[in-house]
């Protein structure tokens, strides 16, 4: 008499799917670690010929903003404002690029939403 194979209906995963689920879980853990590390990783941006310097984290948090006194002109506040806006925007863009680069290495170039 031969033994018949009964369907498992979700009790077992095919070998490939279990392995894939494990790989996804490992990738998620690595991404959490990478995102946490970005909180402490910083880049420094200068604008206005070095008159304004910003240190920003990988989480787009400004840690330090330095303005050289020579750029402060009470008769031309608009120029200082323009330099500050340019510096902040550049810092945010570069911080986002750094974060994307760090996380891209983990996802293997997958275009995952939110990362």
Domain ranges of the chain: 15-107
Give the residue with greater pLDDT, 111 vs 37: 37
d(CA 14, CA 20): 10
Question: E strands within 1-115?
Answer: 42-47, 52-57, 62-67
pTM above 0.75, yes or no: no
pLDDT tens-digit readout, 48-82:
999 999 999 988 999 999 999 999 999 999 999 99
Architecture of domain 15-107 in this structure = 2-Layer Sandwich (3.30)
48-55: which pairs have CB atoms within 8 A and are 24 or more residues apart?
A: 48/83, 48/86, 48/87, 51/83, 52/83, 52/84, 52/87, 53/87, 54/87, 54/88, 54/91
């Amino acid at each position: 008499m031969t033994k018949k194979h009964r369907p498992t209906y979700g009790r077992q995963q095919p070998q490939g799917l279990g392995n894939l689920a494990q790989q996804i879980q490992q990738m998620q853990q690595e991404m959490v670690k990478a995102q946490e590390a970005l909180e402490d990783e910083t880049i420094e941006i200068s604008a206005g010929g070095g008159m304004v310097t910003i240190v920003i984290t990988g989480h787009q948090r400004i840690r330090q903003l330095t303005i050289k006194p020579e750029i402060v002109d009470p008769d031309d506040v608009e120029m200082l404002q323009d330099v500050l806006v340019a510096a902040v925007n550049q810092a945010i863009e570069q911080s986002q690029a750094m974060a994307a680069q760090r996380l891209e290495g983990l996802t293997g170039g997958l275009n995952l939403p939110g990362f």
